[in-house]
């Protein structure tokens, strides 16, 4: 009788135990799915990712994610916690669900309140504590014939976030030659830090270094303190603006000058349709010293997905100064085409 108390008998008991556990947990697994009940009585079960633009985005599991009009929804019962913006403009976080009486409610830390779905202007899952991303673009134009010219741009940017701290940086090297004569030599580095403790509002600082010897700018350093707001930010689009004051030191046209500056920035991006992305970055610096020069830098264009992380890019860079160095142009524009890789 050696097999009654061990060996195969133990293995059989373990398998029966595992089977019973799976059968017990199966109904709860099904119940754990989010439920979107429509006014016409239809029920969609799956994973709700966000609510934005008066639409609920849900992945039913058997198909791609779908968007349903919030006006057509009778109730939502979601398992996860969302970061939520309501029509009163106050951000909060909580679970969108149903109470024991079948009423729609918002359950947060230490509170439960009745909720109308039309009160929700935005709901998204909290960002992970740490995340990062980067991209590198290379753009080049070569002309041979009556006039030989070469125009290149190497651009790299990256971002990282850990908790309430966000870091943004980019680096540009622009070169241009016409008939073997260097006509453009521009280097630019930007860094920004945002403390997101009062999201979507933030406070932070910026640092910029640039040089453009062709336009007689040997160097320019700018340090600033800023405040800003993420106007909207979701999987398909984002818009952030900021403003502040800072200090700048530059050597231009053979003379050195420094003083206070006013700062303003805007960054916008939008996924228009599958694989096509629009972006626009706008930066303005007004020097409150010397000749009150206002410096504007913009970068506008499209990125087109080619492979998983490889894309093509077309962009227009436009710079403008109200009081440039003597014998230099006020504006400078470059149309670029190239390829890039995102990490």
pLDDT of the residue at 61 = 81
Top pLDDT among 29 and 67 is at 67
Residue 30: pLDDT above 80? no
More confident residue, 125 or 146: 125
Picking from 241, 278, 245, the residue whose alpha carbon sits closest to that of residue 259 is 245
What 8-state DSSP symbol labels residue 126?
Answer: P
Q: Is the dihedral of CA 78, 79, 82, 87 positive or negative?
A: positive
pLDDT reading at 19 higher than 50? no
Res. 54: pLDDT tops 60:
yes
Statement: residue 5 has pLDDT above 90:
no
DSSP symbol at 127: P
- Residues 160 and 296 both lie in one domain: yes
Q: Are residues 199 and 88 in the same domain?
A: no
87 assigned to some structural domain:
yes
Residues 6+ apart with CB under 8 A from 229: 200, 201, 202, 240, 241, 242
Task: Say if residue 12's pLDDT is above 60.
Answer: no
Residues 107 and 192 in one domain: no
What secondary structure letter does DSSP report for 11? H
Q: How long a stretch of residues is the chain?
A: 343
- Per cent of the chain over pLDDT 90 is 63
Give me the domain span that covers residue 111. 33-124
The two three-digit tokens of residue 166, written as one number: 């966000």
Residue 73 pLDDT greater than 80, yes or no: yes
Based on the domain organization, do 117 and 177 belong to the same domain?
A: no
* Residue 25 pLDDT greater than 80, yes or no: no
Higher pLDDT, 235 or 85: 85
168 and 207 assigned to the same domain:
yes
- Is the same domain home to 210 and 276? yes
Q: Is 24 domain-assigned?
A: no
10, pLDDT greater than 60: no
**Is the domain of 102 the same as that of 183?**
no
* Chosen domain end from 88, 107, 124: 124
pLDDT score, position 55: 92
Is 118 in the same domain as 144? Answer: no
End position of a domain, from candidates 124, 156, 189: 124
Band of the pLDDT at 154, cuts 50, 70, 90?
Answer: very high
Both 211 and 265 in a single domain?
Answer: yes
Asked whether residue 5 is assigned to any structural domain, the reply reads no
16 domain residue, yes or no: no
* Residue 329's CATH number: 2.40.160.40
Give the pLDDT mean for 194-213: 94
117 and 150 share one domain: no
Residues 193 and 329 occupy one common structural domain: yes
Residue 27 lies in a domain: no
- Do 176 and 154 lie in one domain? The reply is yes
Residue 95, Cβ neighbours under 10 Å: how many? 16
Give the tens place of pLDDT for each residue, 293-308: 999 999 999 999 998 8
Q: What is the pLDDT of residue 274?
A: 76
**Number of structural domains in the chain:** 2
- All residues at 6 or more sequence positions from 189 whose CB lies less than 8 Å from its CB, including other chains: 169, 170, 171, 172, 208, 209, 210
In a domain, 23, yes or no: no
Examine the pLDDT at 2 and tell me if it is beyond 50.
no
- pLDDT for 32 equals 65
At residue 223, does pLDDT exceed 70? yes
pLDDT at 41 over 60: yes
Residue the block writes with tokens 């009423």:
103
**Does the pLDDT at position 18 exceed 90?**
no
Q: Is the pLDDT of residue 93 over 60?
A: yes
Instruction: Give the model confidence (pLDDT) of 310-333 as tens digits.
Output: 999 999 999 999 988 888 889 988
Phi, psi of 58 (to 5 degrees): -135, 140
Q: Supply the pLDDT for residue 232.
A: 86
Give the per-residue SS3 of 5-59.
CCCHHHHHHHHHHHHHHHHHHHHHHHHCCEEEEECCCCEEEEEEEEEECCEEEEE
Residue 231 has pLDDT above 80, yes or no: yes
End-of-domain residue from the set 107, 124, 141: 124
Q: Residue 25 domain-assigned?
A: no
**236 within some domain:** yes
């Amino acid at each position: 009788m050696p097999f009654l108390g061990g060996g195969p008998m133990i293995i059989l008991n373990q398998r029966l135990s595992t089977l019973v556990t799976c059968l017990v947990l199966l109904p709860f697994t099904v119940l754990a799915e989010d439920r979107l009940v429509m006014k016409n009585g239809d029920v969609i079960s799956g994973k709700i990712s966000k609510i934005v633009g008066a639409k609920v985005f849900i992945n039913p599991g058997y198909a791609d994610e779908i968007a349903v009009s919030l006006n057509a929804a009778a109730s939502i019962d979601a398992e996860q916690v969302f970061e939520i913006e309501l029509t009163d403009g106050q951000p909060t976080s909580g679970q969108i669900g149903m109470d024991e009486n079948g009423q729609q409610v918002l359950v947060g830390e230490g509170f439960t309140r009745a909720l109308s779905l039309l009160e929700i202007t935005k709901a998204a899952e909290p960002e992970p504590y740490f995340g990062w991303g980067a991209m590198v673009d290379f753009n080049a134009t070569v002309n041979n014939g009556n006039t030989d010219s070469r125009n290149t741009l190497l651009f790299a940017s990256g971002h990282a976030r850990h908790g309430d701290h966000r870091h943004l940086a980019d680096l540009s090297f622009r070169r241009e030659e016409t008939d073997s004569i260097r006509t453009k030599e521009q280097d630019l580095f930007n860094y920004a830090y945002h403390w997101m403790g009062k999201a979507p509002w933030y406070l932070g600082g910026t640092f910029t270094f640039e040089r453009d010897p062709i336009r007689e700018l040997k160097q320019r350093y700018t340090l600033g303190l800023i405040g800003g707001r993420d106007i909207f930010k979701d999987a398909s689009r984002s818009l952030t603006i900021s403003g502040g004051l800072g200090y700048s030191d530059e050597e231009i046209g053979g003379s050195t000058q420094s003083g206070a500056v006013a700062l303003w920035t805007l960054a916008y991006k939008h996924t228009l349709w599958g694989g096509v992305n629009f972006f626009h970055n706008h930066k303005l610096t007004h020097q409150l010293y010397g000749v009150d020069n206002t410096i504007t830098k913009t970068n506008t264009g499209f990125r087109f997905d080619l492979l998983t992380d490889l894309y093509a890019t077309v962009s227009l860079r436009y710079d403008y100064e109200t009081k440039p160095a003597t014998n230099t142009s006020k504006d400078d524009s470059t149309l670029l085409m190239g390829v890039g890789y995102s990490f």
